[in-house]
Amino acid sequence: MISNNDINTRALLVGVLNNLYDDTTFEELKLLSKTAGVEVLGESIQRRNKIDPAYYIGRGKAQELAAAVKTLGANAIICDDELSPVQIRNLEKLTEVQIIDRTMLILDIFAQRAKTSEGKIQVELAQLQYMMPRLTGKGIELSQEGGGIGTRGPGETKLETDRRHIRRRIHRLKQELKEIQKNRQVIIKSRRYPVISLVGYTNSGKSTLMNALTDAQVVTGDRLFETLDTTTRGLILPDGRRVLLSDTVGFIRKLPHHLVEAFKSTLEEVKEADMLILVADGSSPVLDEEIATVNSVLRELEAHRKPTILAINKIDKCGQNAYLKGYDREKIVEISALKGLNLDILLKTICEVLPSSRQFAQLFIPYDEGQALDEIHQHGLLSEIEYKESGIKVKGRIEKAVLKKYEEYAIEQ
């Protein structure tokens, strides 16, 4: 049997570009390709407003591409967008090599990086859901013989390519994920300290900031998606409060929808966080777009209304600047995580922004006090509810004002 890693993908990169934003996306495609271990033989850019429905690039351009593939000895073409099954089929027929789109490439990187069983399940689920409608293409046949990008499952597994099996497997993975999620909910709700989530574009410096503020020693680096699993560490704020800081997977433009779907459980941390620090790379030429990308994923996770600090990072590289107007929702702090600049200001700002009014408590509420239970539910995050003979025992983090109101029901922990 051939191992997936033995197959070297030698690819031409192709993009349909329209503006500066697309240009940086294409730059990112190169970085993604390298991260996936692809040998890039050349690139072909087409400047046009609209993507061709049949060939992605125009038919003429596709024919040129087919010739270039032969000349350069490429065995794959990587496109900068997610392609339709028709586009993939047509391009494959014309060029006679495997067509890889941006989504497949990102999924492949995630497949190589996933470490925890949850991460692996999430990636495989996203891969299978992506593959389902595309199963008739030649790419699948090719890759069944060969390997390489698009066939690699998380860890050592090879992706199943039979439709019936896939359906069954998707079902099973979803069940498994549900189990893990249940456990996660219990863990999240039983924590005693507020959680601050670091979110941001990939490579913005989240892990570097995590290391600067705690002793986490998370791996950082210029490879994309260095962090797939969430790391959480304790931190004591200048005002004495103890909090948990968690580092999450970074976001990227054109993030495959299935991937966001599948990763919702990892990103549950973000959803349940008490506040967010949105880390952005101040030296990026498309800073605004990167922040917009992150905000749109946050909206999809329904985490966009949380108290948020916008941390403009890497000011050692780009200088301090008041470039950001119109972000009145967030407090803005300019920092350098790498050089440790303005981290004191960041910490002070966290103290201001972090809601302070919740406290861990345990209460016993008599059954005729239904109103009290309602109110506590609304103003707290309960980890345990126990129905006893004469009343209900609850445990969790509850708004101080509400606790005061019902202090007669408080019991020893």
* Contact yes or no for 364/392 (Cβ under 8 A): yes
Q: What is the dihedral of CA 278, 81, 152, 219, to 10 degrees?
A: -20
- Residue from 95, 98, 122, 207 binding Mg ion (CB under 5 A): 207
Q: Smallest gap, in angstroms, from Cβ of residue 191 to Mg ion?
A: 22
Closest to 132 in 3D by CA, of 106, 103, 163? 163
Q: Does 370 bind ligand GDP (CB under 6 A)?
A: no
Nearer to ligand GDP (CB atom), residue 199 or residue 376? 199
Torsions phi, psi for 280 (to 5 deg): -130, 145
Site string for ligand GDP, 231-270 (x = CB under 6 A): -------------------x--------------------
Q: Smallest gap, in angstroms, from Cβ of residue 227 to ligand GDP?
A: 5
CA–CA distance, 303 with 305 (Å, rounded to integer)? 6
Query: Cα dist. 143→140, 156, 355 in Å?
Result: 5, 16, 52
Q: Does 204 bind ligand GDP (CB under 6 A)?
A: yes
Q: Does 231 bind Mg ion (CB under 5 A)?
A: no
CA–CA distance, 354 with 274 (Å, rounded to integer)? 7
Nearer to ligand GDP (CB atom), residue 80 or residue 290? 290
**Cα dihedral across residues 223, 229, 231, 232: positive or negative:** positive
- Residue from 85, 221, 234, 355 binding ligand GDP (CB under 6 A): 221
DSSP secondary structure code for residue 153 in this structure = P
**Bridge-based pairing state of the strands 10-17 and 76-79:** parallel
Q: Side chain identity at 271, as an amino acid letter?
A: K
- Residue from 25, 33, 143, 207 binding ligand GDP (CB under 6 A): 207
- Residue from 33, 75, 112, 220 binding ligand GDP (CB under 6 A): 220
Q: Does 208 bind Mg ion (CB under 5 A)?
A: no
Nearer to ligand GDP (CB atom), residue 76 or residue 199? 199
Q: Smallest gap, in angstroms, from Cβ of residue 169 to ligand GDP?
A: 31
| Residue 337 site contact among ligand GDP, Mg ion, none (CB < 5 to 8 Å, cut-off depends on kind) | ligand GDP
Q: Does 229 bind ligand GDP (CB under 6 A)?
A: no
- Give me the helices (H) in 274-326, please: 287-300, 315-318
| Residue 98 site contact among ligand GDP, Mg ion, none (CB < 5 to 8 Å, cut-off depends on kind) | none
State both tokens at 141: 């046949």
Q: Smallest gap, in angstroms, from Cβ of residue 210 to ligand GDP?
A: 8
- Residue from 90, 127, 203, 230 binding ligand GDP (CB under 6 A): 203
Q: Smallest gap, in angstroms, from Cβ of residue 375 to ligand GDP?
A: 40
Nearer to ligand GDP (CB atom), residue 85 or residue 221? 221
* Contact yes or no for 267/299 (Cβ under 8 A): no
Nearer to ligand GDP (CB atom), residue 68 or residue 343? 343
**Cα dihedral across residues 399, 404, 407, 408: positive or negative:** negative
Scored b (16 or more CB within 10 A) or e, 284-309 reads bebbebbbebbbebbeebebeebbbb
Nearer to Mg ion (CB atom), residue 69 or residue 279? 279
CA–CA distance, 29 with 9 (Å, rounded to integer)? 15
- What number of other Cβ atoms are within 10 A of residue 11's Cβ? 28
Per rule CB under 5 A, count of chain residues that contact Mg ion: 4
Q: What is the dihedral of CA 176, 177, 181, 182, to 10 degrees?
A: -30
| Of residues 187-206, those binding Mg ion (CB under 5 A) | 206
Site string for ligand GDP, 293-332 (x = CB under 6 A): --------------------xx-xx---------------
Please state the separation of Cα 55 from the chain's center in Å.
Answer: 30
Site string for Mg ion, 341-380 (x = CB under 5 A): ----------------------------------------
State both tokens at 219: 């791996």
Q: Smallest gap, in angstroms, from Cβ of residue 206 to Mg ion?
A: 5
- What number of other Cβ atoms are within 10 A of residue 51's Cβ? 17
Residues that bind Mg ion (CB under 5 A): 206-207, 226-227
Residues that bind ligand GDP (CB under 6 A): 200, 202-208, 220-222, 226-227, 250, 313-314, 316-317, 336-339
